[in-house]
Amino acid sequence: MTSTYRFCADPSCSPGNSRVLLEREATYRCGDRVERASFALRLCTRCHLAFVDPAPPEDMLASFYTSDYAYYAAAGDHPSHEAGSWKYKLARMRYLDLTQPSATNRARSLLAVVAELLARKTITFTLGVPLTMSTSSRILDYGYGTGSWLLAMSLLGYSHLAGYDLASNAHRREELAANGIQVVPPGGLSELTAHSLDCVRLEHVFEHLPDPLGVLRMLHRLLRPHGRLLMTFPSIYPWLRVKDLVGSPFLDYLQVPVHLAHHSLESSSRLLRAAGFEVAASRITRRERFITLMARKQERPGSSSKDLAGSAAS
């Protein structure tokens, strides 16, 4: 597998199986200079993964995520509004039967399904599933952005929350820490105890990762046996039907080269399996056609839950 195909875990996929969908130029700041670079958005004809070629180097990626990056904007009073909103209540009802199966929770889930249909929206796993978990659950928000979600969960009584983000988002750390949320510094995930987390959440982060398999393997190490990995990210599906991508009025939504990959269910599932996860459930959102999914950590062959628990305690 070449470095170009780092976004796919199948060695049978190669640049020879891909075609160019789009060619773009991007400007970025390198010190005091403004540089230009050319990229192609290529589509793998085997697994329908779309990826940026060549992958931007590290210094270029860093230039995209400065402190004024749009998704690092201040959260304001948004967390308190969200925590008490009907959206959060319905999101919890939608997936309660997944984590706590019962006839009552099944009925609640069906009511939330009706609400979804009427609103023509999709309740994502990244929003709904954590709300069904115990408030003592250990949850990591990988790529916390504004920190709004973590703050809302803290207001709802979740007491073991942690967040991780790039160094350029350092200005959010104080507020999160002041609300009892553990902030993991850049590069600090490797120091966390293995098998210590119940859930890891990636909300619109997967498409930004230059080494997605490496990140998934690291998160696999941190999750307890059968711990949950929740992800929502843009997919390639809105673009497969567009014959003239260059002429599309929605071209900017691709965010090339900031979005390094637009996955299909097949390509994302391959990466998850390669990292040791099993996809338990997946959906495509109604409006934007994002992929939202829940995966579970699988035990290593020959290892038992008892062995892993002992490792976590050591």
What secondary structure, in 3-state letters, does 135-159 show? CCCEEEEECCCCCHHHHHHHHCCCC
Is the pLDDT confidence value at 312 over 70? no
pLDDT band at 215 (very low <50, low <70, confident <90, very high): very high
Strands 223-233 and 291-297, sheet pairing: antiparallel
> For the residues 203-212, what does the mean pLDDT come to?
95
What is the average per-residue pLDDT within 218-232? 97
Q: Would you call the peptide bond into 54 cis, given omega within 30 degrees of 0 as the criterion?
A: yes
Percent of all residues in the chain with a pLDDT value above 90, rounded to a whole number? 68
Number of H helices, E strands in the chain: 11, 11
Using an 8 Å Cβ cutoff, are 122 and 292 in contact? yes
Cα–Cα dist 242/271, whole Å: 26
Distance CA 296, CA 188 (A): 23
User: Which range has highest mean pLDDT (6-20, 211-225, 231-245)?
Assistant: 211-225
Average pLDDT over residues 67-95: 88
> Which residue's entry shows tokens 């979740």?
158
Q: Which residue has the higher pLDDT, 61 or 94?
A: 94
pLDDT at 229 > cutoff 80: yes
Q: What was the pLDDT predicted at 51?
A: 92
Burial class (CB in 10 A: 0-12, 13-18, 19+), 149: buried
Residue with tokens 């060619």: 23
Query: Which band of pLDDT confidence, cut at 50, 70 and 90, is reported for residue 194?
Result: very high
Q: Which two tokens stand for residue 61?
A: 């990626």
The whole-angstrom separation of Cα 105 and Cα 92 is 10
Would you state the pLDDT for residue 309?
34
Reported as a pLDDT band with limits 50, 70 and 90, residue 8 is confident
Predicted local distance difference test score (pLDDT) of residue 20: 92
Cα pseudo-dihedral 175, 178, 183, 185, rounded to 10: 70
How would you classify the pairing of strands 33-44 and 138-142? unpaired
Question: Can you spell out the DSSP letters for 194-214?
Answer: TT-EEEEEEES-GGG-SSHHH
Q: Kindly report the average pLDDT of the chain as a whole number.
A: 89
**Closest-CA residue to 187 (of 218, 145, 146):** 218
Rounded CA separation 196/138 (Å): 8
Cα separations in angstroms, 209 against 6, 52, 106, 142, 206 = 10, 12, 36, 11, 6
**pLDDT recorded at residue 131:** 98
Average pLDDT over residues 121-137: 97
Q: Is the pLDDT of residue 281 over 50?
A: yes
How far apart are the C-alpha atoms of 156 and 170, rounded to whole Å? 24
In this prediction, residues 269-287 reach a mean pLDDT of: 95
Q: Mean pLDDT, to the nearest integer, of 115-134? A: 96
Q: H/E element holding 272?
A: helix 265-274
CA distance 134 to 262: 33
